[in-house]
């Protein structure tokens, strides 16, 4: 790795470039070029992350591109960022989705365009920061900061019940994270025993802590800390029964808001299980894995069953998210190599396929201003290209072989089978249910007798349905490519994370990360 300034501070560049972009956008005088400018910025950001990917060494589990400066010296809090095989996946997911999102929002956001893009870039910065932060307080700062722009995105550009949804989203997430803050403070107090005197908030020092654990007793430090962290992340994921904010937020959010929420924000929760909960509290994580596995399985079935009866297509996809996130939690907590690799892969898959579904729903909503399944029907004849793309993304979502979804779900189920065939048998019903509600929806919307909307389009030229425009095709092209690429060549992607995941599993009881 050459030792120039760009490559030694690439992570800071990736985190803070969006903030710079946000400031430039906020001060940009011309109103009609905001979208082009934002798209350009997001492509620069994508370029920076590709540069990181090029120099990334996937043969080691060590932390790379590390930057560490004192931030609040008094308490050993530092600006400490680093990337390993786990976080690089999510960095790429975030930066790849960003230009797609901006292009997807081209027409759907028509008010306060500048403010919207400023919020989007601040959000991107906060999300990237929380994936890369290796210091507890720095992480908490980014974690909480990410709520603020999302709060505005749902609240300003959302649907009719947007205020209810956004306040609920904010309060739910916040109430989980304050307990985590207390846990962080508590753990910082314990660090002097491993650093030899000074307090530290570095995650690497946290890993070295041996926090007392007594199996079967709830009121032991490790169990309490474990639950304080796990609760914060479970709300974000969201794990059943803490999921109720998600459908509201998804339905009310504007299309790009839904995409970023499903695509990246939910992954902050699952990623943090991998980065924080499982390695920090190894005994508690193994001891209570049954709880998370059960909740994950309940989430899979429950999400699927509720999705089945939704009249609103966006709500249907929102509940399918609950179901899919259940798989990821299941994969993480079976604590074996298939499950965990599958869970990490599924995080990316869900980002791509559910993000894609929300984009497609946004496109049709722009044309018809309706999301009610019963009003559609026979759309395939009016919009054939749209139909084909929608079906491909649906296939990915229900894990048909050759698509990315299959690889992730298959690995997770294999891991679950290794853990317990009984649990796997229950979880598999989720696959069937998932196929059922998605295909049922596809059938009702695209095939069958022409519905109200298609009829109106045929009779009234004002309501005519035109097929996808070039811009929309450009939006969907990368998603389709990713779906097929990740389905056909999963190793080309998993190779980046394999060593890190193996390292985590091998050393789960005694985890540590080296710094390169």
Partner 1 sequence: MNSPVGLADLLLISPVIVLFLFSLVPLVTKVTNGNQEQNPKTTLITAIMGLGISAGLLILFGGSDQTIFNNQLLFDGLTKWMGLIAIIAGAAGIVMMSENPSTHFEQFSETVFLAMNSICGMLILISAVNLITVFIGLELMSLSLYLMIAMSQEQKLSKEAAIKYFVLGSIASAIFLYGVSFIFGSVNTINVTDLMQIASTAIKTDKLFLFGITFVVIGFCFKVSIAPFHAWTPDVYQGAPTPITSFMATAVKVASFAAFLRIAATQVFQGSQNLIDVIQWLAVLTMIVGNVAALLQNNLKRTLAYSSIAHSGYILAGVLTVGLSANSAYSAATVIFYLLTYSVMTLGAFAVLSMIEKSENDFISTDSLAGFAKRQPGLAFCFTIFMISMAGIPPALGFFGKFYLFGAAVNEGLIWLALWGVINSVVGVYYYLRPVVNMYMKEGDANISNEKQYASTVLVIAAAMFLIVVGIFSGPLFSMIERSLS
Site residues, partner 1 (CB under 8 A)? 70-75, 77, 137, 140-141, 144-145, 147-148, 151-152, 155-156, 162-163, 166-167, 170-171, 174-175, 178-179, 181-182, 185-186, 188-189
* CB-CB contact of 248 with 164 (8 Å): yes
Question: What is the smallest separation between the CB atom of 191 and partner 1, expressed in angstroms?
Answer: 13
Q: Which is nearer to partner 1, 229 or 338 (CB)?
A: 229
Give the span between the Cα atoms of 274 and 287, in whole angstroms: 16
Question: What is the smallest separation between the CB atom of 271 and partner 1, expressed in angstroms?
Answer: 19
Rounded to 5°, angle at Cα 73 from 68 and 74: 155
**Helix boundaries (H) for 369-489:** 379-382, 384-397, 404-419, 421-446, 452-459, 470-488
* CB-CB contact of 485 with 180 (8 Å): no
Q: Report the SS3 class of residue 418.
A: helix
Question: What is the smallest separation between the CB atom of 430 and partner 1, expressed in angstroms?
Answer: 33
Q: Which is nearer to partner 1, 145 or 391 (CB)?
A: 145
Closest CA to 129 of 15, 261, 23: 15
- The distance from CA 149 to its chain's CA centroid, rounded to whole angstroms, is 16
- The distance from CA 292 to its chain's CA centroid, rounded to whole angstroms, is 19
Encode 298-337: b = buried (16+ Cβ within 10 Å), e = exposed. ebbbbbbebbbebebbbbbbbbbbbbbbbbbbbbbbbbbb
Give the span between the Cα atoms of 479 and 457, in whole angstroms: 28
Assigned token pair, 409: 């779900």
- In the 3-class helix/strand/coil scheme, how is 161-193 assigned residue by residue? CHHHHHHHHHHHHHHHHHHHHHHHHHHHHHCHH
Q: Which is nearer to partner 1, 15 or 453 (CB)?
A: 15
As beta bridge partners, residue 63 has: 515
Question: What is the smallest separation between the CB atom of 291 and partner 1, expressed in angstroms?
Answer: 22
Question: What is the smallest separation between the CB atom of 152 and partner 1, expressed in angstroms?
Answer: 6
Q: Which is nearer to partner 1, 121 or 386 (CB)?
A: 121
Question: What is the smallest separation between the CB atom of 161 and partner 1, expressed in angstroms?
Answer: 12
Question: What is the smallest separation between the CB atom of 146 and partner 1, expressed in angstroms?
Answer: 10
Q: Which is nearer to partner 1, 142 or 496 (CB)?
A: 142
Question: What is the smallest separation between the CB atom of 151 and partner 1, expressed in angstroms?
Answer: 8
Question: What is the smallest separation between the CB atom of 136 and partner 1, expressed in angstroms?
Answer: 11
Give the span between the Cα atoms of 433 and 430, in whole angstroms: 5
* CB-CB contact of 311 with 436 (8 Å): no
Q: Which is nearer to partner 1, 138 or 203 (CB)?
A: 138
Is the CA virtual torsion 89, 95, 98, 99 positive or negative?
A: negative
Q: Which is nearer to partner 1, 79 or 365 (CB)?
A: 79
The separation between the first and the last C-alpha atoms of the chain, rounded to the nearest angstrom, is: 11
Question: What is the smallest separation between the CB atom of 515 and partner 1, expressed in angstroms?
Answer: 23
**Helix boundaries (H) for 253-288:** 255-260, 266-272, 278-280, 282-287
Q: Which is nearer to partner 1, 102 or 137 (CB)?
A: 137
Is residue 153 classed exposed, middle or buried when 0-12, 13-18 and 19+ CB atoms within 10 A define those classes? buried
Q: Which is nearer to partner 1, 189 or 443 (CB)?
A: 189
Q: Which residues contact 53 (CB under 8 A, 6 or more apart)?
A: 88, 92, 496
Assigned token pair, 385: 């290209």
Q: Which is nearer to partner 1, 182 or 432 (CB)?
A: 182
Q: Which is nearer to partner 1, 168 or 503 (CB)?
A: 168
Q: Which is nearer to partner 1, 145 or 435 (CB)?
A: 145
Q: Which is nearer to partner 1, 164 or 447 (CB)?
A: 164
Phi-psi label, residue 400: left if phi above 0, alpha if psi -120 to 50, beta otherwise:
beta
Question: What is the smallest separation between the CB atom of 235 and partner 1, expressed in angstroms?
Answer: 12
Question: What is the smallest separation between the CB atom of 132 and partner 1, expressed in angstroms?
Answer: 16
Please count the other Cβ atoms lying within 10 Å of the Cβ belonging to residue 469.
12
Q: Report the SS3 class of residue 135.
A: strand
Question: What is the smallest separation between the CB atom of 79 and partner 1, expressed in angstroms?
Answer: 10
């Amino acid at each position: 790795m050459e030792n120039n300034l760009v490559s030694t501070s690439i992570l800071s560049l990736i985190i803070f470039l969006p903030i710079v972009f946000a400031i430039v956008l906020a001060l940009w005088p011309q109103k009609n070029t905001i979208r082009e400018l934002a798209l350009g910025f997001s492509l620069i950001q994508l370029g920076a992350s590709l540069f990181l990917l090029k120099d990334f060494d996937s043969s080691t589990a060590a932390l790379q591109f590390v930057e560490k400066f004192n931030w609040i010296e008094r308490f050993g809090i530092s600006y400490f960022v680093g990337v390993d095989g786990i976080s690089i996946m999510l960095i790429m997911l975030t930066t790849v989705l960003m230009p797609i999102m901006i292009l997807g929002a081209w027409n759907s956001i028509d008010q306060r365009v500048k403010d919207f893009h400023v919020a989007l870039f601040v959000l991107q910065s906060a999300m990237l920061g929380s994936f890369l932060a290796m210091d507890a307080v720095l992480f908490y700062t980014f974690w909480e900061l990410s709520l603020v722009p999302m709060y505005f995105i749902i609240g300003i550009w959302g649907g009719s019940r947007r205020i209810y949804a956004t306040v609920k989203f904010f309060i739910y997430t916040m109430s989980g994270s304050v307990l985590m803050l207390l846990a962080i403070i508590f753990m910082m107090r314990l660090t002097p025993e491993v650093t030899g005197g000074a307090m530290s908030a570095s995650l690497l020092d946290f890993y070295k802590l041996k926090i007392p654990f007594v199996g079967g007793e709830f009121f032991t430090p490790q169990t309490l800390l474990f639950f304080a962290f796990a609760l914060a992340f479970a709300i974000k994921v969201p794990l059943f029964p803490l999921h109720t904010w998600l459908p509201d937020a998804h339905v009310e959010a504007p299309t790009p808001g839904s995409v970023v929420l499903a695509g990246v924000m939910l992954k902050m929760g699952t990623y943090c299980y991998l980065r924080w909960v499982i390695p920090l509290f190894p005994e508690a994580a193994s001891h209570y894995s049954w709880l998370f596995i059960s909740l994950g399985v309940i989430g899979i079935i429950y999400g699927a069953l509720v999705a089945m009866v939704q009249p609103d297509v966006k709500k249907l996809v929102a509940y399918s998210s609950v179901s899919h996130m259940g798989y990821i939690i299941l994969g993480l907590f079976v604590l074996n190599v298939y499950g965990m690799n599958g869970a990490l892969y599924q995080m990316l898959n869900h980002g791509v396929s559910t993000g894609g579904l929300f984009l497609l729903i946004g496109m049709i909503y722009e044309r018809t201003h309706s999301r009610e399944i019963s009003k559609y029907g026979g759309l395939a004849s009016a919009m054939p290209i749209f139909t084909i793309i929608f079906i491909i993304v649906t296939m990915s979502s229900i894990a048909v072989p050759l698509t990315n979804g299959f690889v992730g779900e298959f690995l997770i189920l294999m891991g679950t089978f290794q853990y317990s065939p009984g649990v796997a048998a229950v979880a598999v019903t989720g696959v069937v249910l998932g196929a059922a509600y998605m295909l049922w929806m596809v059938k009702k919307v695209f095939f069958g007798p022409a519905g109200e909307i298609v009829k109106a389009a045929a009779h009234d030229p004002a309501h005519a349905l035109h097929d996808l425009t070039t811009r929309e095709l450009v939006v969907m092209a990368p998603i389709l490519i990713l779906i097929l690429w990740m389905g056909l060549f999963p190793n080309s992607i998993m190779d980046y994370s394999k060593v890190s995941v193996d390292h985590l599993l091998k050393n789960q009881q005694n985890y540590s990360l080296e710094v390169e």
